[in-house]
């Protein structure tokens, strides 16, 4: 390689290095490039990050080396109410002339400070029937949300249609809910639940349904929560951790009342109610028969004979009584579903 060629190569390479350095320095000194400094919300604000932004562009914060801002309030502010906490809501500031800073459209050098808003933690709760979670008629889990002090609403459990896996032949009357722990026989209603606040976890047992929220750290409260079943305190968790309570729905199991229709020939004379698996009572009269249900109702029909030999339960009822049977004879001593009797 000739000396002149080598000299030209060195000059070109040197020019590239010089231009690169100039370009970096110019980016900080250009009058259209601004510096945004980010601070926390403490009484003496601490810088947590910065951004270099071309005029009119969006600022993207870079954290200072060795600084990892947790976006928590570092001020001495205390929530104004139990159950509330401070939520990071971005940064805000002003230019020297008092114009608010829009971090999506930076127009000059500026300082911005962490902003927080006060919000309530939400507590959710679900209803259980053993291992099953109660759902609505659309198949969705019933999971109301409330904040501290709000009333609980157990009305969603009152319908037997929402009872999971009901046994054939039974109705279920809603009684209330049982709290977890050793209180399975202690039934409460939504009106039994009441809120209290404490500075520490409770010791003395309170009445069933008492829910205690511990306001343990006034600046950064996590709200450990406990509830009483009247026998013991149960630790529920923390409001700050998306707390969800589980209540066991309590239903009283009752035998379903089935209708037995009494016909004289083709004419319907009336119906009597008979509880699942119970007997339809029949007595003979001088002129016919009297049928009495377990509900106390009775029908007297004139006739000389009756037979259920050819009277069948519907296929739907028969399938529920015993899987695989498409039809089943009516046995008056053991009523299993809606059925009919014909007196002739």
pLDDT of 232 above 80: yes
Q: What is the mean pLDDT of residues 277-284?
A: 92
Q: How far apart are CA 276 and CA 169, in angstroms?
A: 6
Q: How far apart are CA 175 and CA 193, in angstroms?
A: 15
pLDDT bucket at 9, cuts 50 / 70 / 90 = very low
pLDDT of 239 above 90: yes
Phi-psi label, residue 260: left if phi above 0, alpha if psi -120 to 50, beta otherwise:
beta
pLDDT in tens, 290-338: 999 999 999 999 988 876 544 555 566 655 555 444 456 677 888 888 8
- Among 7-16, 279-288, 320-329, name the one with the lowest average pLDDT: 7-16
Q: Which residues of 271-300 are buried (b: 16+ CB within 10 A; e: fewer)?
A: bbbbbbebebeeeeeeeebebbbbeeeebb
Q: How far apart are CA 247 and CA 323, in angstroms?
A: 33
* Token representation of residue 191: 């009106």
pLDDT at position 337: 82
pLDDT bucket at 221, cuts 50 / 70 / 90 = very high
pLDDT at position 318: 57
* Token representation of residue 211: 């829910």
Contact 160, 251 (CB under 8 A): yes
pLDDT of 135 above 70: yes
Bridge partners for 211 per DSSP: 195, 227
SS (H, E, C) 223-289: CEEEEECCCCEEEEEEHHHCCEEEEEEEEEEEECEEEEEEEECCEEEEEEEEECCCCCEEEECCCEE
pLDDT of 119 above 80: yes
| Helix/strand/coil for 210 | strand
More confident site: 265 or 96: 96
| Residue 207, φ and ψ in degrees, nearest 5 | -65, 155
pLDDT at position 231: 83
Contact 1, 9 (CB under 8 A): no
The winner for highest mean pLDDT among 89-98, 200-209, 275-284 is 89-98
The whole-model pTM stands at 0.66
Contact 308, 273 (CB under 8 A): no
Q: How far apart are CA 94 and CA 71, in angstroms?
A: 20
pLDDT at position 28: 46
The DSSP line for 107-118 is -S-EEEEEEEEE
Q: What is the mean pLDDT of residues 88-105?
A: 97
How far apart, in Å, do the first and last CA atoms of the chain sit?
A: 127
pLDDT of 224 above 80: yes
Calculate the average pLDDT of the chain.
82
Task: Locate the DSSP E strands across 61-166.
Answer: 62-63, 84-92, 110-120, 122-129, 132-133, 145-147
pLDDT of 217 above 50: yes
Which residues lie closer than 8 Å to 70 by C-beta, 6 or more apart? none
pLDDT of 174 above 50: yes
* Token representation of residue 47: 């810088």
Bridge partners for 250 per DSSP: 176
């Amino acid at each position: 390689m000739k000396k002149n060629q080598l000299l030209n190569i060195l000059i070109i390479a040197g020019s590239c290095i010089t231009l690169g350095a100039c370009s970096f320095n110019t980016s900080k000194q250009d009058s259209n490039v601004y510096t945004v400094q980010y601070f926390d919300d403490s009484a003496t604000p601490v810088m947590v990050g910065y951004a270099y932004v071309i005029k009119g562009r969006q600022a993207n914060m870079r954290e200072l080396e060795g600084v990892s801002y947790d976006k928590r309030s570092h001020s001495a502010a205390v929530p104004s109410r139990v159950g509330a906490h401070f939520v990071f809501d971005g940064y805000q500031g002003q230019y020297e002339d008092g114009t608010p800073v829009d971090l999506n459209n930076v127009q000059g050098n500026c300082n911005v400070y962490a902003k927080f808003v006060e919000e309530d933690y939400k507590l959710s709760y679900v209803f259980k029937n053993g291992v099953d979670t109660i759902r609505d008629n659309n198949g969705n889990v019933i999971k109301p949300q409330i904040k501290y002090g709000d009333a609980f609403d157990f009305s969603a459990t009152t319908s037997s249609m929402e009872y999971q896996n009901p046994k054939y032949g039974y109705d279920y009357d809603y009684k209330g809910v049982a709290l977890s722990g050793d209180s399975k026989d202690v039934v409460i209603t939504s009106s039994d639940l009441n809120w209290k606040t404490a500075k520490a976890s409770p010791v003395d047992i309170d009445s069933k349904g008492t829910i205690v929220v511990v306001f343990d750290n006034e600046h950064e409260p996590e709200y450990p929560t406990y509830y009483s079943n009247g026998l013991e305190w149960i630790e529920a968790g923390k409001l700050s951790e998306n707390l969800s309570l589980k209540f066991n729905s309590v239903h009283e199991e009752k035998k379903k009342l089935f209708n037995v229709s009494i016909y004289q020939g083709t004419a319907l004379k009336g119906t009597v109610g008979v509880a699942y698996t119970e007997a339809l009572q029949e007595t003979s009269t001088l002129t016919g028969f009297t049928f009495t249900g377990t509900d106390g109702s009775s029908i007297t029909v004139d006739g000389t004979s009756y037979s259920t030999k050819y009277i069948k339960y519907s296929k739907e009822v028969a399938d529920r009584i015993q899987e695989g049977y498409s039809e089943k004879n009516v046995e008056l001593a053991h009523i299993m579903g809606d059925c009919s009797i014909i007196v002739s």
